[in-house]
Amino acid sequence: MKIGIVCYPTFGGSGVVATELGIALAKKGHKVHFITYSIPVRLDTHSENLFYHEVRVSDYPLFEYQPYELVLSSMLVNVVKYEKLDLLHVHYAIPHASAAYMAKQILASQGIHIPFITTLHGTDITLLGKDASFEPVITFAINQSDAVTAVSKSLQQDTYKYFNIKKEVQVIPNFINLDEYTFENSGEQKKVYAPYGEKILIHVSNFRKVKRVEDVLRVFDKVRKKIPAKLILIGDGPERSNIQRLCRELDTCGDIHSLGKVVSPEKVLPVADLFLLTSETESFGLSALEAMASKVPVISTNTGGIPEVNKQGYSGFMSNVGDIEDMAKNAVYLLEDEDRLAQFRSNAYEQAQKFEIKKVLPMYENLYTSLTP
């Protein structure tokens, strides 16, 4: 099959899922065309089945805002037509679903019929999409999609709640490729971050407000008062300066390793003893799944789709959003007992196995087959 994938090429979860999906499809012999504004960060595999089409908006002085969506639609028309694609799969509704709808209509006027699938990832529904400035377009584009998927039951329900959706929203969860988790040198690497055998807590995100990274620091501060510990921060984003300010205020900067954006977090995650995910809302929590695949238990909030991923008292613990005391208490409970920690590590890995790519990929392939002649 020839599949066009539209996504954000950045470190965000939707781009990661779209890229890993494309790579897996290419390995199975499908021709996969990525259509976006730069090479997806995780697209480091070279394959005769993978193609990249850059969407470049020229900087015309009349525009205060560049019309990316129109250029994307035109590019979709061209790629579908000249590469003879069978379907389009767009990740993150804004603005990809409406761009795909526009391309579909243009192509239909030329006698070319192409189905498009919209995969909803989270903030395109729970934060941005439901905002009045987007809502009518998003509702329309979702209803016009040939199929719609959401990455968790929670996101499926939020979509029905916030939008007047006439289509079925199918749940296809995020997935993980456990073959990428090799645990190479993690013992040696651990000493780099924690030379005196301190426990290591880790957080990975795009440092947006919704992640409540300040709570990560506050939980860490409480934990290190009880147990010698270090914190690794992976990622970058708008909250970084607030984080720096808070670590100075709490006097914890010396125990924090900020690694910035890391292309392969699976190479660092296995050094950690606990993963912290303090989000206000989270449709799934791919980063938590990546931690569990690294045998790292998860201390998280209980919001959105997180309970579908992190099992209370098994792969980790969940607390109400903002309940720093409870999160710190649960973290100490796990870190203070080696046997307990080892048990939770193995549970976390077992939980991650439920989301193995080989279980999830056929769901997408079946959907593709159902939409093509």
Check whether the bond before 95 is cis (ω within 30° of 0). yes
Single out the residue of 34, 92, 101, 175 in contact with ligand GMT (rule: CB under 6 A).
92
Task: Name the packing angle between helices 213-224 and 240-250 (round to 10°).
Answer: 20
Angstrom distance (rounded) from CA 133 to CA 120 = 18
> Is residue 17 within the footprint of ligand GMT (CB under 6 A)?
yes
How many other CB atoms sit within 10 Å of the CB of residue 346? 13
Single out the residue of 118, 283, 303, 351 in contact with ligand GMT (rule: CB under 6 A).
283
Q: Quickly count helices (H) and strands (E) in the chain.
A: 13, 13
Integer CA distances (angstroms), 225 to 21, 22, 52, in order = 42, 45, 49
Decide: 42 and 263 in contact? Cβ < 8 Å.
Answer: yes
> Is residue 300 within the footprint of ligand GMT (CB under 6 A)?
no
Single out the residue of 151, 223, 298, 352 in contact with ligand GMT (rule: CB under 6 A).
151
Q: Which is nearer to ligand GMT, 41 or 331 (CB)?
A: 41
Q: Which stretch binds ligand GMT (CB under 6 A): 21-29, 46-54, 262-270, 274-282?
A: 274-282
Q: What angle do CA 114, 120, 125 make, to 5 degrees?
A: 130
Q: Which is nearer to ligand GMT, 270 or 285 (CB)?
A: 285
Q: Which is nearer to ligand GMT, 176 or 200 (CB)?
A: 176
Number of residues that bind ligand GMT (CB under 6 A): 21
- Helix, strand, coil shares of the chain as percentages rounded to 5? 45, 15, 35
Single out the residue of 86, 158, 282, 308 in contact with ligand GMT (rule: CB under 6 A).
282
> Is residue 42 within the footprint of ligand GMT (CB under 6 A)?
no
Decide: 257 and 232 in contact? Cβ < 8 Å.
Answer: yes
Decide: 71 and 47 in contact? Cβ < 8 Å.
Answer: no
Handedness of CA 321, 326, 330, 332 (dihedral sign): positive
Both tokens of residue 111?
């006698």
Cβ 229 to ligand GMT shortest distance, Å: 25
> Is residue 4 within the footprint of ligand GMT (CB under 6 A)?
no
> Is residue 121 within the footprint of ligand GMT (CB under 6 A)?
yes
Q: Which is nearer to ligand GMT, 49 or 279 (CB)?
A: 279
> Is residue 210 within the footprint of ligand GMT (CB under 6 A)?
yes
Cβ 150 to ligand GMT shortest distance, Å: 9
Single out the residue of 36, 49, 206, 315 in contact with ligand GMT (rule: CB under 6 A).
206
> 179-202: string of b/e by CB count within 10 Å (b at 16+)?
eebeeeebeebbeebbeeebbbbb
Cβ 129 to ligand GMT shortest distance, Å: 11
Helix (H) / strand (E) element for 87: namely strand 87-91
Q: Which is nearer to ligand GMT, 116 or 207 (CB)?
A: 207
Instruction: List phi, psi (to 5°) of 126.
Output: -75, -25
Single out the residue of 6, 286, 348, 361 in contact with ligand GMT (rule: CB under 6 A).
286
Q: Which is nearer to ligand GMT, 134 or 193 (CB)?
A: 134
How many other CB atoms sit within 10 Å of the CB of residue 31? 19
Cβ 36 to ligand GMT shortest distance, Å: 13
Q: Which stretch binds ligand GMT (CB under 6 A): 8-16, 175-183, 237-245, 263-271?
A: 8-16
By CB under 6 A, the residues from 163 to 192 that bind ligand GMT are: 174
Q: Which is nearer to ligand GMT, 91 or 295 (CB)?
A: 91
> Is residue 317 within the footprint of ligand GMT (CB under 6 A)?
no
Report DSSP state, residue 9: -
Provide Rg for the chain, Cα atoms.
Answer: 21
| Single-letter amino acid code for the residue at 285 | G
> Is residue 14 within the footprint of ligand GMT (CB under 6 A)?
yes
Decide: 265 and 286 in contact? Cβ < 8 Å.
Answer: no
Binding site for ligand GMT (CB under 6 A): 12-15, 17, 92, 121-123, 151, 174, 206, 208, 210, 279, 281-286
